[in-house]
Structure 1
Amino acid sequence: MFDGIISFFEQTDPVWAAFYATMFTWFVTALGASLVFFTKDTHKKFMDSMLGFTGGVMVAASIWSLLIPAIDMSDGEGFQKVMPAVLGFLAGAGFLFTLDKVLPHLHVNFKQVEGIKTPWQKTTLLVLAITLHNIPEGLAVGVLFGGVAAGIPEASIGGAIALAIGIGLQNFPEGIAVAMPLRRMGMSGRKSFFYGQLSAIVEPIAGVIGAIAVAAFTPVLPYALAFAAGAMIFVVVEEVIPEAQQNKSSDMATIGFILGFVVMMTLDVALSG
């Protein structure tokens, strides 16, 4: 099956490939959000383990799919070779840090509002919070496909597909995390689903932008890969792990993190080879 998927993407324009791959990640988010049609609540242990899984996938993807290729494709030796990854990583983390401080958003626990003060409703703030998660995810997939278009050996179709699959898997609980609280607040199943899937619409947009930018400006690829990694690690440390550990089922969150890390690492190594 994977051979057929890889063959399809090899025959597809990389920008369109980035679009298709990020549409898959959006679809899985919508799939998670669709659970609101069947139930108004999910078990806390399940959600904590899924959030932990999300964190593990994002950390592993940042290392194997983004940082290691960024370093491998950089010129020079020693400090010179690692500097593009360092600068890109810091820029990505700084970019998300700025958005986190400026863009109004509500944490999944519904208790902590961040960013500038606004009269916006909690629904909008919650969607914006998950949207912050999805910007670097879509960008990461697009950047890898852009590297393929530029003919960079370290950027492979298999690696880009592995990243899209991993991000898709961890998007499932993100869809639940937006839609389910809204359902519990009394919002209809249809509206809860709409807002749940809406949070991932930014992924195809970021993916296409990333693919076009890297294909047009090949020298920025190591910086762009590390940028996406820095943004993803910031999200994990700032939001995903604290939210997964806030309840009494922190052990489940930790196990979920380890499983997510292993799954993403395995996908990347197996499909990139």
Structure 2
Amino acid sequence: MQFETLNPVVQALLGTMFTWGVTALGAAVVFLARDISKRVLDTMLGFAAGVMIAASYWSLLAPAIDMSEHLGTWSFVPAAVGFVGGAVFLRLVDMFLPHLHLNAPMSEAEGVSVSWKRSTLLVVAITLHNIPEGLAVGVAFGAVAANIESATLAGAMALALGIGIQNFPEGMAVSVPLRREGMSRFKSFWYGQLSGMVEPIAGVIGAAAVFYARPILPYALAFAAGAMIFVTVEEVIPESQNSDNGDLATMGVIFGFTVMMTLDVALG
């Protein structure tokens, strides 16, 4: 059976299983080394941010606007509403869900107060950030099945590939600090890959929602874009810039943006 003949929900599941697998691959680095240079981590996080920014426009916002052209001068409304909605949703979750950003002390844990361990709070933070990525891939495959002219299977696959590539440093960003703090290799790997497990769930939900409720598609695409930009600006870029490697991280953003733009334009 060929991939293009599969149900869009199954396509989204397979696409996000790939992105989860790359997260696990990044987390598996702890089996090879106890620590990774902060310069390398910051550069790779910058790369991840660049991929997310480019994907938010070319794979999500631009198709959302194209789909709304029949609204005439109001064609920007679905994209604007969905984009703001995605960012506000992530902000609300960020306010209440207990989590801890990478390299932050326990005193800076966010959300409601709980007695969870540091490792659990770190995984929750990365898991929260992976929700919009899985949702974006799922919505992209759902858009193809809905026969949207501006949505192509190659474009959806390019998005899954781009998200997968940037998930590698995210997996490392969880497992390596845990290993550095003395956690066993297996536990560090387990928590690192666990953060990507939410992507297949979000992907299936996103694909099913837009496939069975086509009118919400432009809003859903823009929602995923807003959520991804919120994560990028609120966490990924600041984390990559919090040491003395700002220039390297910035070049990582540029390179990541270029790679994702090239993938989407060339394949989409």
1:241 matched to 2:237? yes
Deviations 1:226-250 (A, max 9, x none): 0000000000110011100000010
Q: How does 1:45-124 map to 2 (within 5 A)?
A: 45-74=39-68, 75-78=70-73, 80-111=74-105, 112-124=108-120
Q: What are the within-5 Å matches in structure 2 for residues 109-148 of structure 1?
A: 109-111=103-105, 112-148=108-144
For residue 230 of structure 1, the aligned residue among 212, 218, 226 is: 226
Greater shift, 144-153 or 187-196, is seen at 144-153
Give 1:4's aligned residue: none
TM superposition shift of 1:76 = 1.7
Residue equivalent to 2:3: 9
| RMSD of aligned Cα (Å) | 1.0
Query: Per-residue CA shift, 1:246-270, capped at 9, x if unaligned?
Result: 0001000000000000000000001
**Structure 1: 4+ residue segments shifted above 2 A:** none
Superposed CA deviations along residues 19-65 of structure 1, whole A, max 9, x for unmatched, are 00000000000000001111111001100100100110000000000
| CA drift at 1:129 | 0.6
> Would the aligned equivalents of 1:9 and 1:157 in 2 still touch at CA under 8 Å?
no
- Give the letter for the 1:90 counterpart: V
CA distance in 1, matches of 2:2, 2:46: 32
Contact residue 59 and residue 232 of structure 1 kept, 8 A:
yes
Residue 249 of structure 2 corresponds to residue 253 of structure 1: yes
Q: Distance in 2 between matches of 1:183 and 1:72?
A: 46
Give the stretch that moved more between structures: 8-17 or 30-39.
8-17
CA contact (8 A) 1:138 1:202 kept: yes
SS in structure 1 opposite 2:58?
helix
**Residues 94-126 of structure 1: CA deviation (Å, up to 9, x unaligned):** 000001111011101133311111100001100
CA distance in 1, matches of 2:3, 2:150: 17
Whole-Å Cα distance in 2 between the matches of residues 83 and 52 of structure 1? 31
Give TM-score scaled by structure 2 length: 0.97
Secondary structure at the counterpart of residue 75 of structure 2: helix
Distance 1:8 1:50 in 2: 34
Question: Within 5 A, what are the aligned runs for 1:18-33?
Answer: 18-33=12-27
CA distance in 2, matches of 1:9, 1:264: 22
Correspondent of 1:150 among 131, 143, 146: 146
For 1:44 and 1:185, how far apart are their aligned partners in 2? 15
Distance 2:71 2:93 in 1: 33
Aligned length: 265
TM-score by length of structure 1 reads 0.95
Instruction: Using the TM superposition, give the Cα deviation of residue 12 of structure 1 relative to its aligned residue in structure 2, in angstroms.
Output: 1.8
Which structure 2 segments of 5+ residues have no match? none
SS of residue matched to 1:77? helix
Separation in structure 2 between the aligned mates of residue 11 and residue 170 of structure 1, nearest angstrom: 28
Q: Percent identity?
A: 63
